[in-house]
């Protein structure tokens, strides 16, 4: 029979960022060998459509709803993370769709118990041996207090919470036993990663030991093969068990180093490919810009030459017109009369400008007097 697992961990400010990186798979490498990097894309969050900043989400909730005048202590519990799971056989038996429904019902349970406004994330991990959900809530009460004790004040409340969860999932059609009580297992408060390891160890110890043994043999075989070590040439009879264990440890460590090196090479190759794509795109854009600049420069030069040519032609026409006019006047001895005419015109223009100036000054004076009169009348009224 499979069990309904619901465990909790209280988190202070110091572990929030580490929790985010683990849950949202933001690290490059993971010490947890159960994580399959090829399945990370299968993970999803029931509460958010995309990755979030845990600290920002928590701080926003506190800013909007925290009512106390007291400053929040540095060691205050800012996040309660619930680990919700069962065992691999259960999830294999119910299938993909029911697995999604199981976590959805668990999410609905936490919304009801802790309040939807308090939830920060509900991340389902399908990239490890056993599907499970990390669900984080900020422990803010309805009256604006920040206290985890409302939900997790001692074993009694935690036991009640686990009983409620078991009853909820059973009522929703899942054939599960209630998880083993911490009173019976004598489990202590541990970090969420430790709780998860303990749960998997309790439920699948034999499978994990077999898997570890196979992994060890495969690693040794791979290392020995890669280094072209001929087993027939090794005199195992003359090697003590201690030396053999050292040799085995060295081979395993070499395999781990080689695997980590290969992962780094893959990441660097991926980054190099992305940079090459970006570089090619920028190179194409640069070439397009250069072509456009060349076309614009060519068009500018053509237009500038045309304007320059028109200006020179018009200037030449003007000069010829003036020359022809002067020659015409001199030939008919009208140049003296023309000069007198120009002088008279200049004098008249000067007189008109002076009259216009006086008229403008008189208008300004009249306008000023009228405005002053209006102001005096308003004061009398």
Residue 318: what pLDDT? 85
Tokens 């010490």 — which residue?
31
Query: Which of the four pLDDT bands, split at 50, 70 and 90, describes residue 192?
Result: very low
Residue 124: what pLDDT? 96
Given a contact cutoff of 8 angstroms between Cβ atoms, the answer to whether 172 and 7 are in contact is no
C-alpha angle 108-110-115 in degrees, rounded to nearest 5: 100
Given a contact cutoff of 8 angstroms between Cβ atoms, the answer to whether 45 and 119 are in contact is no
Mean pLDDT for 360-371 is 78
Query: Which of the four pLDDT bands, split at 50, 70 and 90, describes residue 230?
Result: very low
Q: Where are the domains of the chain?
A: 3-208, 338-381
pTM: 0.50
Residue 325: what pLDDT? 79
Burial class (CB in 10 A: 0-12, 13-18, 19+), 85: buried
The fold adopted by the segment(s) 3-208 is BirA Bifunctional Protein; domain 2 (3.30.930)
pLDDT digits (tens, 9 = 90+) for 73-128: 989 999 999 999 999 999 999 999 999 999 999 999 999 999 999 999 999 999 99
pLDDT of residue 186 exceeding 80, the answer is no
Please report, rounded to a whole number, the percentage of residues in the chain having pLDDT higher than 90.
33
Query: Which of the four pLDDT bands, split at 50, 70 and 90, describes residue 228?
Result: very low
Residue 189: what pLDDT? 37
Tokens 């541990």 — which residue?
190
Residue 233: what pLDDT? 47
pLDDT digits (tens, 9 = 90+) for 3-47: 899 999 999 999 999 999 999 998 877 667 778 888 999 999 999
Q: Using alpha carbons, list the distances in angstroms from residue 82 to 11, 104, 121, 296.
A: 11, 14, 10, 64
Average pLDDT, the chain: 79
CA 37 – CA 127 distance, rounded (Å): 7
Q: Mention every residue, 6+ apart, whose C-beta is less than 8 A from residue 238.
A: none
pLDDT of residue 64 exceeding 60, the answer is yes
Residue 101: what pLDDT? 96
pLDDT digits (tens, 9 = 90+) for 98-108: 999 999 999 99
CA 345 – CA 300 distance, rounded (Å): 44
């Amino acid at each position: 029979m499979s069990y309904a697992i619901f465990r909790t961990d209280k988190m202070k400010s110091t572990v929030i960022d580490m929790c985010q990186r683990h849950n949202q798979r933001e690290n490059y490498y993971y010490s947890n060998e159960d994580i399959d990097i090829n399945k990370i894309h299968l993970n999803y969050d029931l509460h958010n459509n995309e990755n979030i900043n845990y600290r920002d989400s928590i701080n926003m909730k506190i800013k909007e709803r925290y009512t106390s005048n007291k400053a929040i202590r540095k060691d205050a519990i800012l996040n309660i993370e619930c680990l919700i799971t069962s065992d691999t056989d259960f999830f294999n038996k119910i299938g993909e769709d029911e697995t999604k429904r199981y976590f959805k019902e668990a999410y609905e349970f936490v919304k009801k118990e802790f309040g939807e406004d308090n939830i920060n994330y509900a991340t389902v991990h399908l990239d490890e041996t056993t599907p499970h959900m990390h669900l984080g809530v900020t422990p803010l009460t309805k009256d604006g207090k920040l206290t985890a004790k409302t939900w997790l004040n001692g074993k009694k409340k935690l036991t009640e919470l686990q009983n409620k969860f078991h009853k909820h999932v059973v009522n929703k059609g899942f054939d599960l036993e209630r998880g083993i009580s911490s009173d019976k297992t004598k489990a202590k408060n541990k970090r969420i990663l430790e709780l998860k390891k303990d749960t998997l160890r309790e439920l699948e110890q034999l499978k994990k030991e077999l898997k570890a043994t196979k992994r060890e043999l495969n690693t040794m075989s791979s290392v020995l093969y890669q280094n072209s070590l001929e087993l027939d040439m090794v005199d195992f009879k003359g090697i003590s068990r201690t030396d053999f264990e050292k040799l085995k440890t060295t081979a395993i460590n070499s395999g781990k180093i080689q695997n980590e090196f290969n992962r780094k090479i893959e990441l660097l190759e991926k980054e190099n490919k992305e940079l090459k794509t970006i570089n090619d795109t920028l190179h194409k854009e640069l070439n397009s810009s250069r072509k456009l600049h060349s076309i614009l420069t060519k068009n500018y030069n053509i237009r500038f030459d045309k304007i320059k040519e028109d200006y020179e032609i018009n200037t030449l026409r003007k000069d010829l017109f003036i020359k022809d006019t002067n020659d015409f006047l001199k030939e008919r001895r009208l140049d003296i009369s023309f000069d007198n005419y120009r002088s008279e015109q200049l004098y008249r223009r000067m007189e008109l400008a002076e009259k216009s100036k006086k008229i403008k000054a008189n208008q300004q004076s009249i306008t000023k007097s009228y405005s002053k009169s209006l102001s005096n009348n308003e004061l009398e009224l």
